[in-house]
């Protein structure tokens, strides 16, 4: 038979004990929430550590966002933990059971809560008799671990991925330099588009290789070769422009000597310079290119003095553009282009034949302008008597290997002295400028290149495959 | 229609009842020396309107306790020595052919069961047929003879004893009958101090003086007060979980073939209330349940053959269950540790 519980007595101490029960329930529920949240927090801590490291590696600006994401994740995990642990939450009534059992109250709290009997007095000593004790070690360890991981993620030195990427994509220096030259030359319209395109294709060919192979010896060698060849071609272009300009100016200045040997020589010089301009790796752009392209090399001598002057002016302008463009570009030795024809140091003497005929004065020329080779005629390929060594044309430079004994004191007279009645057989029609790697140069009696010193990477690969 | 709700006891009523019970306890302690727990359980059984099965060696004072209880309560008591040739009518009573006014008719002659306290000595020596004669009396508190039902006096209490030795020719009580006993109490042997006191204060053939401290009317009032002791829902839940834990399917009850019945839960509840009143409380508590769990449950658990071979006893299993089943039924999170009660 049920007990009538409608006769509840005045709950004098009800508030006190109910507050205790609620406190106990909250403590237990916090424990449940904590045990549900902590594993997730540990996972978030690990993920957050990697996220912070990634953010610091990727971009420092992302770090606050990473912290925000970690915070949001922890909060969301807390909310989820509350929902998942809620079924195990302790009710106040259940907490009351724990409390009354621990305090030895003989179910008095439950009875009083049901309205049977009075609530126990408030003077019951709770010190050391609280039903549960917190085991703080494990939660503290986990939280400390999470905090330490996040702190370590902020403290560990991390390289900037942007800088790494920038370093990683930096092309070989020589390729960059050549690209800069071509850009400047195109901007100044100093060379024609085909020449620039050919060089750019070679740059692209080098850069098409995997990035981690850009700094391999073969790639660097190819880039270096490209730079040397391009520099040599530009120097040759400058020389040929100067030679053609000189020859055109000479022809324009002496129309009356049409049949003279001197005119013939100037005509030959103009034709040779024009041929070399047409065949060179770098061809002039603008008026100079057009004017040279309109006529055959041999027909240039038949131009009127006025046309020859225009041609000379166009060639001079092109050379000036060439020099101006390369002056803007870094890492180019401007001396390789030769002296300016309108050199300030060169002053007409007024007494020599050239001054009287209105030609550039050679006597008053500066030392640079008096250098051998001015005019485009060098000793060139071919055999010459009394050579002490073998000359080797490396494109931009020349190298002479000494084959004669170097110790003169120990040398016999016959080894050093040789008298040969011969003539230096110079083949002036042979192209002596820089040769494009792998390209076939025109052959002549003086001998063209029958081998190449440097191979492009794809050519090297092909050779490797062949020999493999 | 629900029965009218009982008024709960107030603290003064509970204290008053506890004082009366205390007087009874003191008197019985003067009858049976050194058996305080046994006396308490018997009093609890009486207050809970339950029947008690006492098991112990001869000479431990079982009969003396029952006699003392009857005198202290001023109740009519009878003693029946159960033997194999005892017939059911020898307990319940027999119809006797009598001639009244020249007419012969059967008149019911009440047996020894018509007493307030029936001491069934060595109950396991009677045949099952005779034992079963007690079933109706214990459960219904009435006897039916020749189609006529005769109510037993109120209060009615069966205190049965059985001897754990000399089991030849005995008839172990069936589970159905065992279940009708509220308690099965093991009567322990007396200690040296108790024996010394017995030697000093008792003589053979001279029963101790036992004053009447509670009359039948007061006893009935106390039994009614037990019903008014409040059973808090958490304590009822504890009882339910404890009884459910005796089911063979529960891992904690390994070795149990048949667990306790719902009647065991009712017995636990009644005994816990009675014990609460003995303590002067208005409600039953977890401690009360724990204190009465062993005598309530030990005879209601049937162990399987393997458990008996392993030496498991119902007492051990009940003790294990009491350790494993907490009053607070919810687990605590690992970040918290339950303080030991």
Best to test chain B binding among A5, A21, A107, A143 (most B CBs inside 10 Å)? A107
What pLDDT, on a 0 to 100 scale, did the predictor assign at position A213? Answer: 78
Share of chain B above pLDDT 90, in %: 43
Per-residue CA distances from B111 to A183, B13, B68, B86, B122 (Å): 132, 38, 22, 12, 18
Tell me which residue in B5, B331, B332 faces A2 most closely, judged by beta carbons: B5
Contact assignment for B335 to A135 by CB distance below 8 Å: yes
Tell me which residue in B283, B337, B339 faces A116 most closely, judged by beta carbons: B283
Tell me which residue in A1, A32, A131 faces B338 most closely, judged by beta carbons: A131
CA distance from start to end of chain B: 42
Tell me which residue in B3, B4, B230 faces A111 most closely, judged by beta carbons: B230
Tell me which residue in A4, A28, A111 faces B6 most closely, judged by beta carbons: A4
β-pairing, B77-81 vs B117-121, is parallel
Tell me which residue in A88, A111, A132 faces B337 most closely, judged by beta carbons: A132
Chain A contact set for B287 (CB, 8 A): 104, 106
Chain A touched by B15 (CB under 8 Å): no
Nearest in space to B185 (alpha carbons), one of B28, B32, B18, B35: B35
Contact assignment for B231 to A3 by CB distance below 8 Å: yes
Chain A contact set for B336 (CB, 8 A): 27-28, 31, 132-135
Question: Nearest-5° angle of CA B4, CA B8, CA B14?
Answer: 140
Chain A touched by B13 (CB under 8 Å): no
Per-residue CA distances from B250 to B95, B175, B317 (Å): 50, 21, 12
Chain B touched by A79 (CB under 8 Å): no
* CB B150, CB B115: distance < 8 Å: no
- Distance, in angstroms, between B6 CA and closest chain A CA? 5
Chain B contact set for A107 (CB, 8 A): 232, 234-235, 283-286
β-pairing, B157-162 vs B52-55, is parallel
For residue A128, the chain B residue with the least C-alpha distance is B339
The 10 Å Cβ neighbour count of residue B275 is 26
| φ and ψ at residue B183, rounded to 5 degrees | -120, 150
Chain A contact set for B334 (CB, 8 A): 31, 35, 135, 138
Q: What is the torsional sign of CA A322, A323, A326, A332?
A: positive
Whole-angstrom Cα distance, residue B286 to residue B268? Answer: 11
Q: Which residue has the tokens 């190449």?
A: A452
Inter-chain Cβ pairs, chain A and chain B, closer than 8 A: 126
Tell me which residue in B3, B327, B335 faces A97 most closely, judged by beta carbons: B327
* CB A72, CB A91: distance < 8 Å: no
Whole-angstrom Cα distance, residue B47 to residue B40? Answer: 10
Does residue A375 carry a pLDDT above 60?
no
The larger pLDDT score, comparing residue B214 to residue B340, is at B214
Per-residue CA distances from A365 to A236, A335, A341 (Å): 22, 17, 10
Chain A touched by B234 (CB under 8 Å): yes
- Express each pLDDT in B201-243 by its tens digit: 888 878 788 888 998 889 999 999 999 999 999 999 999 999 9
Chain A contact set for B228 (CB, 8 A): 3
- Express each pLDDT in A180-235 by its tens digit: 888 888 888 888 888 888 888 888 888 888 877 777 888 888 888 888 888 888 88
A412 Rama class: left (phi>0) / alpha (psi -120 to 50) / beta: beta
Chain B touched by A84 (CB under 8 Å): no
Chain A touched by B194 (CB under 8 Å): no
Tell me which residue in A3, A94, A136 faces B328 most closely, judged by beta carbons: A94
Share of chain A above pLDDT 90, in %: 14
For residue A87, the chain B residue with the least C-alpha distance is B330
Model pTM? 0.62
Chain B touched by A92 (CB under 8 Å): no
For residue A36, the chain B residue with the least C-alpha distance is B333
* Mean predicted confidence (pLDDT) in A402-427: 54
The larger pLDDT score, comparing residue B231 to residue A265, is at B231
* Mean predicted confidence (pLDDT) in B100-123: 88
Chain B touched by A139 (CB under 8 Å): yes
**DSSP 8-state class, residue B330:** S
Chain B contact set for A131 (CB, 8 A): 338-339
The 10 Å Cβ neighbour count of residue A261 is 8
- Distance, in angstroms, between A134 CA and closest chain B CA? 5
What pLDDT, on a 0 to 100 scale, did the predictor assign at position A355? Answer: 47
Whole-angstrom Cα distance, residue B79 to residue B73? Answer: 16
Chain A touched by B227 (CB under 8 Å): yes
Instruction: Indicate the average pLDDT of chain B.
Output: 88
Whole-angstrom Cα distance, residue A248 to residue A305? Answer: 9
- Express each pLDDT in B124-177 by its tens digit: 888 888 888 887 788 888 988 888 889 999 889 999 988 777 667 788 888 888
**DSSP 8-state class, residue A3:** B
CB neighbours of A378 closer than 8 A, spacing ≥ 6?
A372, A432
Token couple for B156: 């009615």
């Amino acid at each position: 038979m049920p007990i009538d519980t409608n006769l509840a007595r005045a709950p004098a101490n009800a508030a006190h004990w109910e507050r205790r029960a609620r406190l106990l329930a909250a403590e237990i529920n916090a424990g449940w929430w904590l045990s549900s949240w902590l594993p997730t927090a540990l996972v978030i801590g690990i993920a957050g550590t990697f996220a912070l490291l990634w953010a610091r590696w990727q971009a420092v600006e992302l770090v606050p966002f990473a912290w925000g994401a970690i915070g949001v994740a922890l909060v969301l995990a807390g909310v989820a933990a509350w929902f998942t642990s809620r079924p195990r939450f302790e009710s106040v009534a259940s907490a009351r059971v724990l409390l009354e059992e621990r305090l030895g109250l003989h179910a008095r709290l439950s009875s009083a809560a049901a309205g049977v009997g009075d609530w126990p007095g408030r003077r019951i000593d709770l010190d050391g008799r609280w039903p549960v004790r917190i085991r703080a070690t494990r939660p503290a360890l986990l939280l400390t671990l999470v905090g330490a991981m996040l702190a370590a993620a902020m403290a560990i030195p991390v390289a900037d991925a942007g800088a790494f990427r920038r370093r990683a994509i930096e092309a070989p220096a020589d390729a960059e330099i050549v690209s800069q030259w071509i850009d400047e030359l195109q901007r100044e319209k100093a060379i024609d588009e085909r020449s620039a395109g050919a060089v750019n294709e070679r740059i692209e060919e080098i850069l098409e290789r995997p990035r981690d192979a850009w700094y391999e010896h073969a790639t660097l060698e190819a880039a270096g070769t490209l730079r040397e060849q391009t520099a040599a071609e530009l120097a040759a272009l400058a020389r040929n422009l100067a030679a053609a300009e000189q020859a055109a100016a000479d022809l324009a200045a002496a129309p009356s000597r049409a049949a003279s040997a001197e005119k013939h020589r100037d005509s030959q010089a103009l034709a040779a310079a024009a041929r070399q301009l047409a065949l060179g790796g770098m061809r002039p752009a603008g008026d100079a290119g057009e004017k040279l392209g309109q006529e055959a090399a041999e027909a240039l001598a038949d131009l009127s003095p006025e046309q020859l002057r225009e041609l000379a002016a166009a060639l001079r302008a092109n050379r000036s553009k060439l020099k101006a463009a390369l002056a803007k570009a870094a890492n180019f030795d401007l001396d390789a282009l030769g002296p300016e024809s309108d050199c300030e140091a060169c002053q007409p003497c007024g007494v020599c034949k050239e001054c009287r005929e209105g030609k550039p004065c050679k006597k008053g020329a500066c030392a640079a302008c008096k250098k051998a080779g001015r005019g485009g005629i060098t000793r060139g390929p071919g055999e010459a008597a009394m050579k002490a060594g073998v000359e080797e044309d490396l494109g931009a430079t020349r190298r002479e290997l000494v084959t004669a004994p170097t110790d003169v004191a120990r040398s016999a007279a016959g080894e050093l002295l040789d008298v040969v009645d011969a003539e230096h057989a110079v083949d002036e029609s042979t192209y002596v400028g820089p040769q494009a790697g792998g390209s076939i140069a025109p052959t002549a009696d003086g001998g063209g290149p029958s081998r190449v010193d440097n191979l492009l990477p794809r050519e090297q690969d092909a050779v490797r495959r062949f020999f493999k | 229609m629900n029965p009218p709700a009982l008024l709960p006891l107030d603290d003064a009523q509970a204290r008053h009842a506890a004082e009366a019970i205390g007087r009874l306890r003191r008197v019985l302690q003067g009858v049976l020396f050194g058996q305080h727990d046994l006396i308490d359980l018997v009093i609890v059984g009486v207050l809970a309107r339950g029947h008690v099965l006492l098991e112990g060696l001869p000479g431990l004072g079982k009969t003396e306790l029952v006699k003392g209880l009857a005198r202290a309560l001023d109740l009519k008591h009878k003693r029946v020595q159960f033997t194999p040739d005892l017939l059911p009518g020898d307990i319940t009573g027999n119809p006797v052919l009598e001639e009244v006014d020249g007419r012969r008719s059967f008149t019911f002659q009440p047996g020894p069961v018509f007493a307030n306290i029936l001491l069934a000595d060595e109950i396991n020596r009677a045949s099952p047929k005779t034992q079963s004669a007690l079933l109706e009396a214990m459960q219904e508190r009435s006897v039916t003879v020749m189609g006529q039902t005769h109510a037993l006096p109120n209060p009615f209490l069966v205190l049965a004893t059985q001897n754990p030795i000399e089991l030849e020719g005995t008839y172990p009580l069936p589970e159905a009958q065992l279940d009708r006993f509220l308690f099965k109490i093991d009567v322990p042997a007396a200690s040296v101090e108790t024996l010394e006191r017995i030697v000093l204060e008792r003589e053979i053939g001279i029963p101790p003086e036992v004053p009447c401290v509670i009359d039948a009317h007061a006893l009935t009032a106390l039994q009614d007060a037990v019903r008014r002791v409040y059973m808090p829902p958490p304590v009822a839940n504890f009882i339910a979980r404890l009884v459910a834990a005796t089911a063979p399917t529960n891992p904690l009850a390994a070795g149990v073939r048949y667990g306790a019945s719902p009647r065991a839960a009712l017995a636990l509840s009644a005994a816990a209330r009675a014990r609460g009143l003995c303590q002067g409380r208005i409600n039953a508590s977890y401690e009360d349940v724990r204190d009465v769990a062993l005598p309530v449950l030990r005879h209601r658990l049937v162990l399987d053959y393997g458990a008996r071979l392993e030496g498991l006893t119902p007492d051990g299993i009940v003790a294990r269950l009491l350790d494993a089943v907490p009053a607070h039924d919810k687990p605590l999170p690992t970040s918290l540790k339950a303080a030991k009660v």
